[in-house]
Structure 1
Amino acid sequence: MVDAYVKQFELTVLPVAAQNELQLVRYEPGDVICTQGDEAEHLRFLVKGKIRVSHTSATGKRLVLSFKYPLDLIGDIEYIQRTPFLNTVEAVTSVEMLVIRFEDLVRHAHHDVAWLHYLLEEITRKFERKSQSLSFNLFYPVEVRLASYLLSMTPNDQTLGSTVDQLTDIADLIGTSYRHVNRTLRRFVEAGLIERNRRVITLVDREGLLEIVGESIYE
């Protein structure tokens, strides 16, 4: 399976010796793949599924930076800078990743020009996407951010949690207050876009939510 993914995503840019060190790791929905501030020791290639990337500020506020699909790299910046993880990454769906230790990359690929060029391109794209994501959170109204979040978090299921703790998490993640999230959800209910009880939010009109979003800002 590792070889199939290497071929599918053209990871032959890695030297063969480094390819031989790749391991396939699977994660279930809700699993934390890496946590902001933890020591980074592995580079991960997302080859199947969907992940959520969020950041926690010094004041404890969390913000969704993006949702990512294959192919995407986790740990590339940390590998270059030798820093702890900059963000927290969680599985939204079932996820598969090819994983290699930093020390194996150093041993087999650290001076490989083709690999370093590939890594530079990936990191450059990542910073461009991060800048766009932060701009969206600053300039888009809460109803757009919330609609986008609901759509992004339900790719295979129409429901997600609606407890006080879960709504507080959503508020932190999209950069607003719990009360504002609550008010916006009530408007979505009144408009027939969602149904909601104390435990579950159910999306009943995805097309209507997509009209609010225009473009899914977290994708």
Structure 2
Amino acid sequence: MTAEELQADPYAIVAVASSAGGINGLVKLLGGFDAALPVPVLVVQHLDPRHRTVLAEILDRRTPLSVKLAETGETARPGTVYLAPPDRHLLVDSGGVLSLSSSELVHFLRPSADLLFESVAGAYGPQAIACVLTGTGTDGAMGVDAVRSRGGTVIAQDPETAEFRGMPAAAVGTGSVDYVLPLDEIAAVISGLVETKRRS
């Protein structure tokens, strides 16, 4: 496949990472999408591993998209948000089949945004969009490098507008971020990218 043919391929997946402050960030981001979003969205939000989470239910009520906890073996579908369960890494293969892993912590974290982004980069290459929202620490920074190196597109929340700037600032610091945006502009930009590339 030529570089031109690869570039003409529509985006096929969006991966999002957030941590501290992320629930508000996810409500705003996901709430800005249309129900007919033509790609699936995979989300790593750092959660307390000791407790069952109701985050999927909260987000499902506050966004036009369908939101659920990811399950091993299911195929990611457009217009649906798949949330990594507490204490499980979320990965995807080139057929869009999801898997959950209890493999070792990455930077003391499970789920890891880096692992999700690296998985998305390997499976989708230039068809991937990775987005880093508010959070402490640096999770996601190695992963955005992987996405960018495979020709994907990287978006970071403007650290100046983030509730916690650590994660988006670390992503921006890699030099691999294509768009640095205020939170309330990210959904429109992702929607525009997906639709524009689909029509081209």
Q: TM-score, normalized by length of structure 2?
A: 0.27
Q: Which has the larger helix fraction?
A: 1
Q: TM-score, normalized by length of structure 1?
A: 0.26
